[in-house]
Amino acid sequence: MAEAKPEGHSDPSANPIHSFLSSIQQFMSQPFTSAGRQAPGNAVATPHRSRGARRPQAPTSSDPPRLSEFSTSAVPSSAWASLNFMVGAGMVIIQPSTNKIVVLYDTQLKYWFFPRGRKDQGESLEEAALREAYEESGYRAEFLPLYIPTCAPLPPDVEGSRSRLNTEPIFITMNPWPHNRRPGNGDGRTQPGEYLTMWYIGQIPENAVYNEGTGMADEQNFTSHLCTYDEAVRKVWGQEIDVLRYAWSVYIRSLRFQEEQEARQSTESRTSAQTLSSGRQLSVAFWHPLSKYGG
Protein backbone atom coordinates (compact mmCIF):
# COMPACT_ATOMS: atom_id res chain seq x y z
CA MET A 1 0.00 0.00 0.00
CA ALA A 2 1.40 3.38 -0.98
CA GLU A 3 2.55 5.73 1.72
CA ALA A 4 1.06 9.18 2.10
CA LYS A 5 2.84 11.54 -0.27
CA PRO A 6 3.46 15.18 0.60
CA GLU A 7 1.95 17.77 -1.66
CA GLY A 8 3.31 21.14 -2.71
CA HIS A 9 4.47 23.75 -0.27
CA SER A 10 5.23 27.43 -0.19
CA ASP A 11 8.37 29.18 1.02
CA PRO A 12 8.23 30.17 4.68
CA SER A 13 7.70 33.84 5.44
CA ALA A 14 9.80 36.01 7.67
CA ASN A 15 8.00 34.51 10.67
CA PRO A 16 8.78 30.77 10.52
CA ILE A 17 6.30 29.61 13.16
CA HIS A 18 3.39 31.38 11.45
CA SER A 19 4.42 29.90 8.12
CA PHE A 20 4.70 26.47 9.66
CA LEU A 21 1.27 26.64 11.27
CA SER A 22 -0.22 27.84 7.99
CA SER A 23 1.45 24.95 6.16
CA ILE A 24 -0.01 22.41 8.56
CA GLN A 25 -3.48 23.88 8.07
CA GLN A 26 -3.08 23.61 4.31
CA PHE A 27 -1.82 20.05 4.57
CA MET A 28 -4.78 19.11 6.76
CA SER A 29 -7.33 21.12 4.82
CA GLN A 30 -10.06 18.53 5.25
CA PRO A 31 -11.45 18.47 8.78
CA PHE A 32 -11.18 15.08 10.38
CA THR A 33 -13.32 13.43 13.00
CA SER A 34 -13.81 10.10 14.62
CA ALA A 35 -17.57 10.30 14.26
CA GLY A 36 -18.98 7.21 12.66
CA ARG A 37 -15.85 5.16 13.36
CA GLN A 38 -17.06 2.50 15.75
CA ALA A 39 -15.02 0.52 18.24
CA PRO A 40 -14.53 -3.17 17.54
CA GLY A 41 -17.49 -5.16 18.77
CA ASN A 42 -15.56 -7.07 21.42
CA ALA A 43 -13.15 -4.32 22.47
CA VAL A 44 -13.83 -3.07 25.97
CA ALA A 45 -12.34 0.21 27.13
CA THR A 46 -10.58 0.06 30.50
CA PRO A 47 -9.04 2.71 32.75
CA HIS A 48 -5.65 1.65 31.45
CA ARG A 49 -6.68 2.17 27.87
CA SER A 50 -9.87 4.11 27.22
CA ARG A 51 -10.50 4.17 23.47
CA GLY A 52 -14.10 5.21 22.96
CA ALA A 53 -14.85 7.26 19.86
CA ARG A 54 -16.16 10.77 20.33
CA ARG A 55 -19.89 11.27 20.11
CA PRO A 56 -20.70 14.59 18.46
CA GLN A 57 -23.49 16.58 20.06
CA ALA A 58 -25.76 19.14 18.49
CA PRO A 59 -24.30 22.62 19.09
CA THR A 60 -26.10 24.97 21.41
CA SER A 61 -25.58 28.60 22.29
CA SER A 62 -23.88 27.54 25.52
CA ASP A 63 -21.41 25.17 23.87
CA PRO A 64 -17.71 25.99 24.38
CA PRO A 65 -15.98 27.56 21.36
CA ARG A 66 -14.26 25.49 18.73
CA LEU A 67 -10.50 25.49 18.83
CA SER A 68 -8.27 24.74 15.83
CA GLU A 69 -9.35 22.41 13.07
CA PHE A 70 -7.31 19.69 14.74
CA SER A 71 -9.16 19.86 18.05
CA THR A 72 -12.63 19.37 19.44
CA SER A 73 -14.41 22.17 21.27
CA ALA A 74 -12.94 23.68 24.42
CA VAL A 75 -14.15 22.21 27.70
CA PRO A 76 -15.71 24.27 30.49
CA SER A 77 -13.47 25.34 33.35
CA SER A 78 -13.29 22.39 35.73
CA ALA A 79 -11.62 21.32 38.97
CA TRP A 80 -10.97 17.67 39.82
CA ALA A 81 -9.66 16.07 42.98
CA SER A 82 -6.95 13.44 42.77
CA LEU A 83 -9.40 10.57 43.27
CA ASN A 84 -11.27 11.70 40.13
CA PHE A 85 -8.53 11.83 37.51
CA MET A 86 -5.73 9.77 36.04
CA VAL A 87 -2.84 11.02 33.91
CA GLY A 88 -1.21 8.93 31.24
CA ALA A 89 1.11 9.17 28.26
CA GLY A 90 1.09 7.70 24.78
CA MET A 91 3.41 7.72 21.78
CA VAL A 92 3.20 7.58 18.01
CA ILE A 93 6.44 5.84 17.03
CA ILE A 94 7.84 6.62 13.57
CA GLN A 95 10.75 4.94 11.80
CA PRO A 96 12.19 7.86 9.80
CA SER A 97 14.33 5.63 7.57
CA THR A 98 11.20 3.97 6.16
CA ASN A 99 8.53 6.54 7.07
CA LYS A 100 6.60 3.75 8.75
CA ILE A 101 4.65 3.80 12.00
CA VAL A 102 4.57 1.24 14.81
CA VAL A 103 0.99 0.06 15.33
CA LEU A 104 0.03 -2.52 17.95
CA TYR A 105 -2.58 -5.23 17.59
CA ASP A 106 -4.42 -6.91 20.45
CA THR A 107 -4.87 -10.49 19.30
CA GLN A 108 -7.43 -11.15 22.01
CA LEU A 109 -9.68 -8.09 21.68
CA LYS A 110 -8.97 -7.71 17.95
CA TYR A 111 -8.18 -4.03 17.60
CA TRP A 112 -5.26 -1.78 16.61
CA PHE A 113 -3.81 0.98 18.77
CA PHE A 114 -0.75 2.98 19.82
CA PRO A 115 1.19 2.39 23.04
CA ARG A 116 -0.16 4.35 25.97
CA GLY A 117 -0.87 3.93 29.66
CA ARG A 118 -1.09 5.47 33.10
CA LYS A 119 1.79 7.34 34.70
CA ASP A 120 3.29 5.65 37.73
CA GLN A 121 3.76 7.53 40.99
CA GLY A 122 6.93 9.62 40.91
CA GLU A 123 7.27 9.18 37.15
CA SER A 124 7.31 12.07 34.68
CA LEU A 125 5.05 12.05 31.64
CA GLU A 126 8.07 11.77 29.37
CA GLU A 127 9.35 8.77 31.32
CA ALA A 128 5.90 7.20 31.18
CA ALA A 129 5.69 7.68 27.41
CA LEU A 130 9.03 5.97 26.83
CA ARG A 131 8.24 3.17 29.28
CA GLU A 132 4.82 2.46 27.79
CA ALA A 133 6.30 2.54 24.28
CA TYR A 134 8.83 -0.12 25.25
CA GLU A 135 6.52 -2.30 27.33
CA GLU A 136 3.72 -2.43 24.80
CA SER A 137 5.60 -2.28 21.48
CA GLY A 138 8.82 -4.10 22.32
CA TYR A 139 10.89 -1.30 20.75
CA ARG A 140 13.13 1.09 22.69
CA ALA A 141 11.94 4.36 21.23
CA GLU A 142 13.39 7.81 21.68
CA PHE A 143 11.71 11.16 21.31
CA LEU A 144 11.76 12.56 17.78
CA PRO A 145 12.63 16.28 17.70
CA LEU A 146 10.32 18.08 15.28
CA TYR A 147 9.06 21.59 14.61
CA ILE A 148 6.07 21.02 16.89
CA PRO A 149 3.77 24.03 17.25
CA THR A 150 3.57 24.59 21.00
CA CYS A 151 2.25 27.16 23.42
CA ALA A 152 4.99 26.27 25.91
CA PRO A 153 7.39 29.18 26.48
CA LEU A 154 11.14 28.91 26.21
CA PRO A 155 13.15 28.74 29.44
CA PRO A 156 14.08 32.19 30.80
CA ASP A 157 17.74 31.69 29.95
CA VAL A 158 17.05 30.71 26.32
CA GLU A 159 16.66 33.39 23.67
CA GLY A 160 15.11 33.10 20.24
CA SER A 161 11.91 31.92 18.64
CA ARG A 162 9.74 29.02 19.73
CA SER A 163 9.87 27.78 16.12
CA ARG A 164 12.65 25.34 16.86
CA LEU A 165 13.03 21.60 17.11
CA ASN A 166 11.41 20.28 20.26
CA THR A 167 9.86 17.16 21.78
CA GLU A 168 6.83 18.71 23.46
CA PRO A 169 3.52 16.81 23.60
CA ILE A 170 1.56 17.02 20.36
CA PHE A 171 -1.90 16.05 21.57
CA ILE A 172 -3.98 15.48 24.67
CA THR A 173 -7.03 13.24 24.87
CA MET A 174 -9.57 13.02 27.65
CA ASN A 175 -11.91 10.13 28.40
CA PRO A 176 -14.30 9.74 31.32
CA TRP A 177 -14.53 6.45 33.17
CA PRO A 178 -17.67 5.37 35.07
CA HIS A 179 -17.65 4.36 38.72
CA ASN A 180 -17.39 0.66 37.91
CA ARG A 181 -14.32 0.92 35.64
CA ARG A 182 -11.66 1.82 38.20
CA PRO A 183 -10.21 -0.11 41.13
CA GLY A 184 -10.90 1.20 44.63
CA ASN A 185 -9.02 4.36 45.61
CA GLY A 186 -7.66 2.87 48.81
CA ASP A 187 -10.63 3.15 51.16
CA GLY A 188 -12.94 0.66 49.45
CA ARG A 189 -14.81 3.21 47.34
CA THR A 190 -14.85 3.65 43.60
CA GLN A 191 -15.33 7.00 41.93
CA PRO A 192 -15.96 8.11 38.35
CA GLY A 193 -13.33 10.37 36.85
CA GLU A 194 -11.40 11.67 33.87
CA TYR A 195 -8.45 10.02 32.16
CA LEU A 196 -6.08 12.49 30.46
CA THR A 197 -3.40 11.24 28.07
CA MET A 198 -0.51 13.33 26.77
CA TRP A 199 0.75 12.16 23.37
CA TYR A 200 4.31 12.37 22.06
CA ILE A 201 6.12 11.47 18.85
CA GLY A 202 8.91 8.93 19.12
CA GLN A 203 11.33 7.28 16.74
CA ILE A 204 13.19 4.01 16.22
CA PRO A 205 16.23 3.47 13.98
CA GLU A 206 16.29 1.40 10.82
CA ASN A 207 17.99 -1.47 12.67
CA ALA A 208 15.68 -1.31 15.70
CA VAL A 209 15.60 -4.55 17.68
CA TYR A 210 12.20 -5.95 18.64
CA ASN A 211 12.07 -7.45 22.13
CA GLU A 212 9.45 -10.01 23.05
CA GLY A 213 7.70 -10.30 26.39
CA THR A 214 8.28 -6.72 27.52
CA GLY A 215 4.69 -5.99 28.52
CA MET A 216 2.65 -6.64 31.62
CA ALA A 217 0.83 -9.94 32.07
CA ASP A 218 -2.30 -8.63 30.36
CA GLU A 219 -0.22 -7.22 27.48
CA GLN A 220 1.39 -10.43 26.28
CA ASN A 221 -1.20 -10.67 23.50
CA PHE A 222 0.04 -7.44 21.90
CA THR A 223 1.91 -7.66 18.61
CA SER A 224 3.82 -4.86 16.87
CA HIS A 225 3.62 -4.01 13.19
CA LEU A 226 5.41 -1.44 11.03
CA CYS A 227 2.77 0.16 8.82
CA THR A 228 2.65 2.92 6.26
CA TYR A 229 0.61 5.96 7.18
CA ASP A 230 -2.24 4.86 4.89
CA GLU A 231 -2.32 1.46 6.56
CA ALA A 232 -2.11 2.86 10.07
CA VAL A 233 -4.89 5.42 9.65
CA ARG A 234 -7.21 2.64 8.47
CA LYS A 235 -6.38 0.38 11.39
CA VAL A 236 -6.57 2.61 14.48
CA TRP A 237 -9.89 4.04 15.63
CA GLY A 238 -11.50 6.61 17.89
CA GLN A 239 -9.39 9.49 19.10
CA GLU A 240 -6.22 7.79 17.93
CA ILE A 241 -7.16 8.60 14.33
CA ASP A 242 -6.99 12.27 15.27
CA VAL A 243 -3.72 11.77 17.15
CA LEU A 244 -2.16 9.97 14.17
CA ARG A 245 -3.30 12.48 11.56
CA TYR A 246 -1.95 15.40 13.52
CA ALA A 247 1.30 13.59 14.37
CA TRP A 248 1.82 12.75 10.70
CA SER A 249 1.09 16.29 9.57
CA VAL A 250 3.65 17.63 12.06
CA TYR A 251 6.18 15.04 10.91
CA ILE A 252 5.73 15.76 7.18
CA ARG A 253 5.69 19.52 7.65
CA SER A 254 8.83 19.31 9.80
CA LEU A 255 10.63 17.44 7.02
CA ARG A 256 9.59 20.06 4.50
CA PHE A 257 10.46 22.92 6.81
CA GLN A 258 13.90 21.43 7.41
CA GLU A 259 14.42 21.00 3.67
CA GLU A 260 13.42 24.62 3.08
CA GLN A 261 15.81 25.80 5.77
CA GLU A 262 18.66 23.74 4.33
CA ALA A 263 17.89 24.95 0.79
CA ARG A 264 17.90 28.56 1.98
CA GLN A 265 21.18 28.09 3.81
CA SER A 266 22.69 26.43 0.76
CA THR A 267 21.56 29.30 -1.46
CA GLU A 268 22.95 31.86 0.98
CA SER A 269 26.25 29.98 1.16
CA ARG A 270 26.56 29.88 -2.64
CA THR A 271 25.70 33.58 -2.89
CA SER A 272 28.24 34.41 -0.22
CA ALA A 273 30.88 32.30 -1.96
CA GLN A 274 30.17 33.96 -5.30
CA THR A 275 30.35 37.40 -3.71
CA LEU A 276 33.62 36.51 -2.01
CA SER A 277 34.99 35.12 -5.27
CA SER A 278 34.00 38.26 -7.16
CA GLY A 279 35.64 40.38 -4.47
CA ARG A 280 38.86 38.41 -4.74
CA GLN A 281 38.87 38.76 -8.54
CA LEU A 282 38.30 42.47 -8.17
CA SER A 283 41.10 42.70 -5.63
CA VAL A 284 43.48 40.83 -7.93
CA ALA A 285 42.51 43.03 -10.88
CA PHE A 286 43.30 46.14 -8.89
CA TRP A 287 46.48 45.12 -7.15
CA HIS A 288 48.18 42.50 -9.23
CA PRO A 289 49.28 44.93 -11.98
CA LEU A 290 50.96 47.09 -9.35
CA SER A 291 52.97 44.24 -7.92
CA LYS A 292 55.50 44.27 -10.74
CA TYR A 293 56.16 47.89 -9.93
CA GLY A 294 56.71 47.10 -6.30
CA GLY A 295 53.33 48.59 -5.34
Whole-number pLDDT of residue 43: 41
Domain-embedded: residue 48: no
Mean pLDDT of the chain: 78
Distance CA 148, CA 146 (A): 5
Number of domains comprising the chain: 1
Asked whether residue 257 is domain-assigned, the answer is: yes
Q: What is the CATH number of the domain that holds 208?
A: 3.90.79.10
Is position 144 within any domain?
A: yes
Helix (H) or strand (E) run with residue 1 in it: none
Question: Residue 31's pLDDT band (boundaries 50, 70, 90)?
Answer: very low
**Per-residue pLDDT tens over the stretch 82-105:** 999 999 999 999 999 999 999 999
Instruction: Provide the residue range defining the domain that includes 101.
Output: 82-152+161-180+190-262
Residue 170 lies in a domain: yes
114 domain-assigned:
yes
Task: Look at residue 88 and tell me if it is in a domain.
Answer: yes
pLDDT of residue 106: 97
Instruction: Kindly report, residue by residue over 188-235, the tens digit of the pLDDT.
Output: 447 889 999 999 999 999 999 999 999 999 999 999 999 999 999 999
Read off the DSSP letter of residue 42: T
Mention every residue, 6+ apart, whose C-beta is less than 8 A from residue 33. Answer: 54, 56, 242
Question: Is 286 or 269 the better-scoring residue by pLDDT?
Answer: 269
